[in-house]
Chains A and B, each alone.
Chain A
Amino acid sequence: MNRGLRIVAWVAVGLLGAAALGVVALRRGEPINALWLVAAATCCYALGYRFYSAFIAARILAVDPLRATPAERLENGRDFLVTNKWVVFGHHFAAIAGPGPLVGPVLAAQFGYLPGTLWVIAGAVFAGCVQDFVILLFSVRRDGKSLTEMAKEETGPLGGLVAYGAVIAILIILLAVIALVVVNALKDSPWGTFTIAMTIPIALLMGIYLRRIRPGRVLEVSILGFVLVLLAIWGGQWVAQNPQLAPVFTFRGQTLAILILIYAFAASAMPVWLLLAPRDYLSTFVKLGTIGLLGIGIVVLHPTLHMPAFTRFVDGTGPVFAGKIFPFAFITIACGAISGFHSLISSGTTPKLIARETETRMVGYGAMMAESAVAVMAIIAACVLQPGVYFAINSPAGIVGSTPAAATAAISSWGFPVTADDMQALASAVGERTLFNRTGGAPAFAVGMAHIFSQSLGGTTVMALWYHFAVMFEALFILTILDAGTRVARFMIQDALGHIYKPLGRTSWYPSVLATSAVIVAGWGFFLWQGVKDPLGGINSLWPLFGIANQLLATVALCVATTIIVKMHRAKYALVTLVPLAWLVAVTFTASWHKLFDASPRIGFLAQARALANAPGTAATSRLIFNNRLDAAVTAGLVVMVLLVLVESARQWIAVLRGEQKVVMRETPFVRTRMAEDRI
């Protein structure tokens, strides 16, 4: 295409994006079509990728196609390996895409469709994609070093220590909160519980098939596993209707929490090939397929959004979680806009596979854009529901009451009409006894997804199958993260303990394996238990805590990135990471302040502890008081740690800018690529 045509095409993309954003942002009082959100997001991503990421690559990072990457220099056929850029893109996307971009946007839809949509698009283009891209490139230039190693080298030993502490804390809180999402999706649901229970023998069967029958034929066994999972979904319907079997698979929240804890402990200690790896394959297979299917479904069926642009809950009185739009919308949606966790992956496996520096732009910036698009799909899935239905599913009994009559009366009084009959009809359509008080985001997403698909693929007669497919899809990859996350945290603790007593660091020494697995499972199990016993549904306390922890890790990553950019260019260009850093500091520190000191017991941990202390006491009350004080201590601890990194980093920036400190770059020295002739 010649230059003139290219300019015309990009101007057209800009105009279409502006028009779509205008419709999304300014339309009031009538439902809008989901395609407007898709158009706005697609145009913004295209412009962000074409112009902003190109500017960062050329001017700030000076990506060099002639510089050999660690994949080339250190190639060993295992960790370091020159790999096709599309293959790395798929690998990286599969690692960063989890339940976060689905659950967070569904929860934040309580503010209306607009705040979440704008944050997901702008947050990704200006913050999340930038973070993933620059951390990936900096890691590539440092032989694939991890974020904690780069933090230690660039911001000092304190930076490394804080990054390590933040990663452990985030893992524990993350595992607790996603386990709670599964518990809330499966409680009193024999169909869902049966389907998920069946994925365990299916994964074991896949592991044995791979090991004994057809070694290494993973795609083949994943397809077989997927067919078996579909059969389990179909069979779940029969189980739910069977008077003898249904009670066997019907559990309360507490029982499910105990079962999940036992499962995670066992899975963490089992050989990887037997359960973790096959489940990981199955989950990735279902995840990539379902995300693709949902994207096609939204574009082809272009459903109408019934949620208004803004709801009355921007004032902080929302039933799903308490707190005003600023800062709580921005910590509720982390993955999808910016997620600190991604910096661990950008400085983990991915930098060791990159063939040339120029590919970091497509992999780092591009994969995060794809993740952001998944978040837009989640917003659409939540907002196609009638608002009354959305709030009936997502509001805890502690807010709207535990009977259908009380809940529908409370929700209708907010201006979102819904009746008990509507909810009963919907529950019957999706094969559940009830959909009231199903907090956590997953059931609402599943209903939304089933609603979209049932418009054409099978109609309402198969809505129950679509609903349980969506629940299975979410629960399957949440359970995979529980296995994998517990194991990753276990390895991190074993690495640290190995410095004190060598055998404790050996991952094959069973006393150490069992002890460290128990410590990690007990850590997140404590918060999970707190969540299932919480009369406000648990999500109200735990999701913001997770959001704060995740965004604080992003703060650490952006501190490291800014420090390196200041060393490269002094103040020039530092704004590219400094502006998102300043935004995240404002968001997370304000959110932390509210969670600690807000006078409302629904928001402030300490206010809730005080309110409970002043109420008539029981044994349960004293435990709730302790839990709230512990949540407050965890929040304060995270903030103090990140504040220390921030101060340490700022001290370095000032010293470099004043010329008081010699600039030491920790990059691996330039080596010309052997493949240069092929590439130019």
Chain B
Amino acid sequence: MTPAPSDAVTSSAVDPAPFPLVLGLDTFGDVTHDRNDRPLSHAQTIRNVVEQGVLADQVGADFFGIGEHHTDDFPMPAADVVLGAIAARTARIRLGSAVTVLSSDDPVRVFQRFSTLNAVSGGRAEVILGRGSSIDSFPLFGYDLADYDDLFEEKTELFAELLKGGPVTWQGKTRASLHEQDVVPHTESGPIPAWIGVGGSPQSVIRAARYGFSLMLAIIGGSPARFAPFSELFGQALERFGRAPLPVGVHSPGHVAATDEQALDEFWPRYLEVISRYSQIRGFAIPTRQSFLREVGPHGALYVGSPETVARKIAANLTALGASRFDLKYGMGGLSHEALMTNIELYGTQVIPRVRELVTERTLP
């Protein structure tokens, strides 16, 4: 093992809290359907994600993230390639993973791909490391899920070393050792902003603090407010490790349409279908309309509704969680590309300005 990493990783984010408000969009490349409700091809789905990323930039979203997946309904294993295409057609929006499954990847390759994206995009790359809720990459790449913790711990440590930018010396059990290794391409302006996505493991929160990564809370079910202690744990852990404060973000699913009714009508049947499919695979209870409405309500994790409804919920939960960033995971298998484009447009033109307004109101004396 290498010695404890220095503070170099945090140098991109040493500004004192509060951090600037960041409002972004995430996708898993959910397969969309055509007007006859037939699934589009993987290739068309991917080209549509490029269009969605370009629109996200045009309408003022701060960030566009793509979550690594390896399945027929989420054909999105190479997010960095898609982000490169979006980078070529945009100049402002920040681009990143949401998440990169680091434990079944090689940290050196992840660093190289995202520092290349950083070069292509003029310094707009970010990376969010995590596991996500699917395990498909483990058998695909020959990893054993029982080794998950060791893999993630070691690879996070190595990734933190790589982010510092100098020659890397590292030794572990999960990949070849590195000795004074120069890893290219070098970044122009300090480390790429790096986050760890956490779904509910306090040990992952501590790990993020130990290595100097920002914290992204993935809240996909239940009451968002119950994550508030995680923000506190993160802050206290940073302090204990002698690090400066780092931002906390929230990633949650949702769907924005012109009215609450339209958003619910569009989203619910698709949500039911997708979650039922996963319920069957994983053996948990199928959602009911009642449980869905609970998730959509003020104490649930889904952001489904009109721009005003969604903006109010985002602002309330940012405050409750002490977070400065919200990324809406838009889309749900079976929705149309057009519905997703409308969602993105409403999010950029109406939700974002409204959240900024609400958050500013709250912070004024």
Do A and B make up one complex? no
Binding site for A on B (CB under 8 A): none
